[in-house]
Structure 1
């Protein structure tokens, strides 16, 4: 298998591109699995790594690991305290709104209790339509099929938040077997060679847990999404692998 794409690494943390379909670590909900991002990364760089946040198995994109438990704890706290800026790109069904804040409470989905017993918690996602396309094919009941490219910025961190919010608003993400519509999922899988959830984490910004400098990371899409964007005429919206971080001053170096 090809090596993981490392976006950034220093002595405190490492940031990688997580492939779609790969679990981050072992889970009671995925017994029998033997391939995990955590193990792959550990073997690739020869160091123990500590997960900081989560991405769903079918979601691809930028993911941070600490190289010590202390650094990972600091970064996890930053995620919990909403000090991390996150952006995702999603391909959705329909002509999504130009810009909107989705503020729908969500029940946690942890698989241990019936959903009716889980408390509903506030969840907020800002969405923005970046582009759209109308294809001259009948996929469902209409003679044309409309799809949108959406940027999503979750302001809270509920499980499956972006997927559930967009579905509830009427614009489910293509490839979402649970919250989407199978006829559109099949069309993209069979006719457009995109047989996966079309959701990618493309940007993270956070304060470095040691230097305190603001780190900004953008992540290019995988081959499947890049090819799809090319087919739909969205090449101009493809993100690039990029890291932006201010240079440390001598005083800051001494402080670290």
Structure 2
């Protein structure tokens, strides 16, 4: 069985001979950040981390997705943070793409390799460090938690490769979802899934819903229908979709098309 692939950014800048045209686009319904623009020159250094740089993929902006922030983190050997989260009301979800990341939660350490993940509830002290010989890269999703009386989210740690995916109805398991957080527990106000399409599989209708999405493509290529546009995407690309952006897709390559998907769920609309 072939191990899953998890795309990570390439270092350096394009040559001066390259054309400026590309696939990056920002609209009021969606944003596409292609992997070719995730270059060294657009990284940030976060003050809570050392020997680390970050590509900030999403932040709340007017006219766009507003419920979450999402980073692509690259931690050098020996780097990390003893206090990564500056806001106690914020929850986090980490998903490792490459390398070895040790995450300590309440004094208990977990070693996360590619496909490993950790959900950190709000107010839960945690730290993270690179214990390997090469860079550790991971997706970091941050959301201000919306408390629900009588329901408190718990720490969740695992690896997506150890979870049995759920086949979507009527697809002969060619479209399946790996759910890394409990979907039947209202304590959690977000879901993070790995979605897999085998070649030729599709979302055969334009989903139009209140949930926002952060979508990082882990493997393969596909074509997305976003609002009125058809957009080609490939591993390493990132999409941010605002609420009610019509969306559908199909796998467009010889291998599986897989992505990490964030969505906000389980809460009343605040008026």
- Report the TM-score when normalising by structure 1: 0.31
Based on CA coordinates, which of the two structures has the bigger radius of gyration?
A: 1
Greater share of residues in helix: 1
Greater share of residues in strand: 2
